[in-house]
Structure 1
Amino acid sequence: MDAPLSVPAPGTPAWGDPLTEALELTGVRCVLSRGLTAAGAWALAFPAPGRLKVQAVLQGTVWLLVEGAEPPVRLEAGGAAVLAGDRPYILASDPAVPAVDALPLLRASAEPFFHTGDDGRDTVTIGAHLELDTTAEDLLLSLLPPVLQVGAATAEARTACWLMEQTLRELASDRPGASFAAGHLAPLLLVQVLRAFLTGADAGHCPTGWLRALADERIAPALRLMHGDPSRPWTLAELARAAAMSRTSFAKRFKDVAGVPPLAYLRRWRMHRAEHTLRRADTPLSAIASALGYGSESAFSNAFKRATGLSPRHYRETVRSA
């Protein structure tokens, strides 16, 4: 049984790490992983994945064209790209090659790799779909750009390529524990994706939200405090002091990058934690209330209903029956 509201002791690696806290809520799992080998001139059109999609190139060069995102992205061997999942896209040897529907090729074979183009293996690429819990989709998918390139020279890309290759091997094998192994590789892949985003140039241009705030060096210390001890009644003055800013400057900067004022962010984060616990554990409401800093079960229930439109008990029954 999960115990999602336990807070690590100070000094442990997860203490106050907002990314670790958020990843605990994702419930990420790899639902599909396929490889593609290709040669000559080729282009394949894919529908919107509907899920977070990671594409890694192990050999050769692949062009990635995402609907509504310009210009086309050139992926070299060892590089990867991340798609938020809401737009159709094309993989091609050259952007000028007319694309054909990829779905018939995918359906024609259940093999882990399918082939297109001429004979040979000039190009080898792997795609993985990552499915997230509803809370994680709200936290992540709406905040990522349509396409994020992870350069081949980065440590994150090298690790992502290796993880995807291992995931494909596990899913294609009949070895004992293959599904379990693939399921545990998916969260590691998501870590590399988010690390690449947070250290890249795109982080400062993403939509407002916790991910952009996490990439902001001035705001990050305050985020770590709130995530490290969500039950504490943090004041604006304490959070501003952690960021070495005046209260006015801190409040403005926080709202500019996170989209909400600091204390509103804290309340929202508490509700994300509560939703996660209600979905996955039978923790009493009084214990959830205490762990999140509410003085009583009724105070927590009222706050939860204001945030979600449902009482905690009704929410737990609804999501579990679904």
Structure 2
Amino acid sequence: MAAPRSSPAPGTALRGDLVAETLELTAVRCTLPRRLTAAGDWALAFPAPGRLSVHAVLRGTLWLTVDGVGRPVRLDAGEAAVLPGDRPYTLASGPEVAVAAAPPPPADAAAGPFLHAGAEGRDTVTLDGRLELDPAAEELLTGALPPVLRLGATTAEAPAVRWLLAQSLGELSSDRPGASFALGHLAPLLLVQVLRALLAHGGAEAHPAGLLRALADERLAPALRLMHGDPARPWTLTELARAAAMSRTSFAQRFKDLAGVPPLAYLRRRRMRLAQHTLRRTDTPLSAIAASLGYGSDSAFSTAFKRATGLSPRHYREAARATPDFPVQG
């Protein structure tokens, strides 16, 4: 009988980089990577994809119009754009071309990752991909992404976005061994570039409260590192405020303003994310998980876990093992 798998104490793998630690807990998939070629006058209207979408222009120029955004956005070769996925949008050769509905994607995305518009030719070539995120990753982006985040050709992230989309499309279009494994690793890297672009160019301070704003805030960072570094400890508001060199009241208010939740509620949520990550990926006994997260007994841990996710830890582990795409809960 094979020895059970085990893992280090949750939250210790990437200590110090708070965004990386949070990404470590996420399950991200790249769905429907696709290449669009076009020539002449053309315009295609797409429904709201319902998922984070990333577009990169390899050749030519296109105009991106997002529902509710006043002006079309011009994207030239080498540039990219990120859309939250909650609005319809149009891709076109110009801002005033008659629009046609884009054809629906095939039932089997692998059978049709290519799309053509307009006349014969390849004046414009673009790549796009959609990222399917679990709630842990969505928390990073909630309220932080503008309707359109444009990445100019000279930004650090645009070349990486283009390369990752091209690799994703190549894996989807091939029958090479390990293609699904490769896609599974390219998607998180694409999300990293999106987050880097948002922090560098998106003006996060101007957007509503969300986890990304809290993780990127220098004043909250010392307290967050304490919670991430030792999630089992029963941190008090006084200890966390002292680490941030703030009064209890100021710290609690700033944390809630930026993160959207109070500090100790964030700590409880963090523990549940760590528990789900460990249950999905290891055979660590429930008693060890409970102790690593500061719960005095299995029953206390099980009660807290079920309150947060709707499932007992044992049932969650069984469901996650039986269904590879079983979502993170809560």
TM-score per shorter chain, which class?
0.7 to 0.9
> Closer, same or farther in 2 for the Cα pair 1:5/1:62, shift >3 Å?
farther
CA distance in 2, matches of 1:248, 1:196: 32
Equivalent residues of 1:130, 1:186 under 8 A apart: yes
CA distance in 2, matches of 1:105, 1:18: 37
* Superposition map of 1:301-320 within 5 A: 301-317=302-318
Residue matched to 1:47 = 47
> Closer, same or farther in 2 for the Cα pair 1:134/1:282, shift >3 Å?
farther
Range with bigger deviation, 140-149 or 252-261: 140-149
Equivalent residues of 2:22, 2:136 under 8 A apart: no
CA distance in 2, matches of 1:80, 1:132: 20
Identity %: 69
CA distance in 1, matches of 2:104, 2:261: 45
Residue matched to 2:69 = 69
> Closer, same or farther in 2 for the Cα pair 1:180/1:257, shift >3 Å?
same
Q: Normalized against structure 1, the TM-score is what? A: 0.87
Range with bigger deviation, 132-141 or 62-71: 132-141
Residue matched to 1:232 = 233
* Superposition map of 1:1-150 within 5 A: 3=7, 5-8=9-12, 14-103=14-103, 110=111, 112-140=113-141, 143-150=144-151
> Closer, same or farther in 2 for the Cα pair 1:73/1:243, shift >3 Å?
farther
CA RMSD of aligned residues (A): 2.7
User: What is the CA distance between 1:26 and its match in structure 2?
Assistant: 1.9
Range with bigger deviation, 153-162 or 90-99: 90-99
Range with bigger deviation, 106-115 or 163-172: 106-115
> Closer, same or farther in 2 for the Cα pair 1:167/1:201, shift >3 Å?
closer
User: What is the CA distance between 1:213 and its match in structure 2?
Assistant: 1.0
* Superposition map of 1:164-313 within 5 A: 164-313=165-314
> Closer, same or farther in 2 for the Cα pair 1:312/1:259, shift >3 Å?
same
Amino acid at match of 1:3: S
Indicate the SS of the match to 2:203.
Answer: helix
Which stretches in structure 2 are left out of the alignment for 5+ residues? 324-330
> Closer, same or farther in 2 for the Cα pair 1:153/1:145, shift >3 Å?
same
Equivalent residues of 2:16, 2:225 under 8 A apart: yes
Range with bigger deviation, 188-197 or 132-141: 132-141
Indicate the SS of the match to 2:275.
Answer: helix
Amino acid at match of 1:260: V
User: What is the CA distance between 1:47 and its match in structure 2?
Assistant: 1.8
Range with bigger deviation, 189-198 or 96-105: 96-105
Equivalent residues of 1:80, 1:150 under 8 A apart: yes
Equivalent residues of 1:4, 1:277 under 8 A apart: no
> Closer, same or farther in 2 for the Cα pair 1:303/1:141, shift >3 Å?
same
Q: Normalized against structure 2, the TM-score is what? A: 0.85
Indicate the SS of the match to 1:204.
Answer: helix
CA distance in 2, matches of 1:185, 1:263: 34
